[in-house]
Structure 1
Amino acid sequence: MDANGYDKLQFGEGITKEDVSLYQDKLHIYLEVLKTGDKVRFDRSDDSREIAIDRVDFSDGPQLSQQDLMGANVVDTVDYWQVLS
């Protein structure tokens, strides 16, 4: 991560957009790799309108922008987590 620049997360070979789920709570957004259960956590800013990442890239080409991550629709609720699409 670059404190003054453009920050992106690049998933390696074999991890596609379909292999990842998104979750959120009040302070964080999480990307979970379904095959392994590994998670990446992005902190929200104090006003919850931004997170500390600009883009997520997948090995097969698709991308998620910060707006995609922040604007995902809630499709289900699991305990206090919210599952996003």
Structure 2
Amino acid sequence: MTPTDDKSRAETREQYRFLIINLCRITGAIMLVVGLAVIAREAFGLPKALGFGLFLVGMIGFMLVPVLLSKRWKSTPDK
């Protein structure tokens, strides 16, 4: 394997990780908005309790999951 192959694999892996982190944020934001709509207006015919659950899970998905993933995937600097 050549050094350029290793570099391109590392770049691809980093791109996938970036994509996953952003998908977690987008999914969490959507869950937050839907949860707030259910809480405020009982949208989609869902009970308020489910709205609070969606809001809580969305908040965790939006704020905590990306931070935990980035800490887990943080690379060590090459010396």
TM-score greater than 0.5 by the shorter chain: no
> Could you tell me the TM-score, scaled by structure 2's length?
0.23
TM-score normalized by the length of structure 1: 0.22
Q: Higher strand fraction: Structure 1 or Structure 2?
A: 1
Structure with the higher fraction of residues in helix conformation: 2
